[in-house]
Amino acid sequence: MKDEATYAKRITLVAVIVFIGLLYISFRILGFPAGLFSTTFIGGLIVWLSTTYRISVDPHKFISLYLLTVILFIVHVYEEFRGHIETVMSRLTGLQVTQQNFLTIAAFIAPITWVTGALLTFKRWRFGEFLVSVFLFGMMFGELTHFVFPLMLDGRFHYMAGMYTCLLPSVSAWCTFFTIRSEVQKALQWSCS
């Protein structure tokens, strides 16, 4: 039984690494700033390997906080939309990012992916735990870049689209991460006893 669980973990890990590679290649082909997404998925892999990859925990212990974080992310995306973040992204990347492109990814594909992560986690599928980790990494670290964008573009600090609400999903993601980490530590202590 333990050998089957170890085998399943390894297969999931290989699948996740292949998934990240294919994601990177597809974003490169599509011309979208692949570095941002690849970094988030690699960061999520590190979070996953250090938490629920080691030992699964009861999703009921963190899922409410996680889904609150997804809701706060959607609120944040609305501020980005209203503030025309696509112009900031175009200036930062040198690529033409349209509002339609931004909304397709941030307001449609991303929330579906993050809710799918929650559903798969409830089904006890390891890939769901990976998606949860990717989302948490993106919120914990990626959202804070809103405070760096003005310095990168203009060399001075001022409001940029999304800056008012970026802390909402970031703080909530950190709370979710610490809850998961605490549950993992409890489970590891219990399994060692």
Angle at 44 between CA 164 and CA 176, to 5 degrees: 60
pLDDT by residue for the chain (193 residues), tens digit each?
A: 567 778 888 888 888 888 888 777 766 665 555 567 778 988 999 999 999 999 999 999 999 999 999 999 999 999 999 999 999 988 988 888 889 988 988 999 899 999 999 999 999 999 999 999 999 999 999 999 999 999 999 999 999 999 999 999 999 999 999 999 999 999 999 888 7
Distances (CA, A) of 179 to 64, 107, 111, 136, 151: 11, 26, 21, 12, 33
Domain ranges of the chain: 2-192
Give the other-Cβ count within 10 Å of 172's Cβ. Answer: 22
Q: What is the pTM of this model?
A: 0.89
Q: At which residue do the structure tokens 């993106």 appear?
A: 138
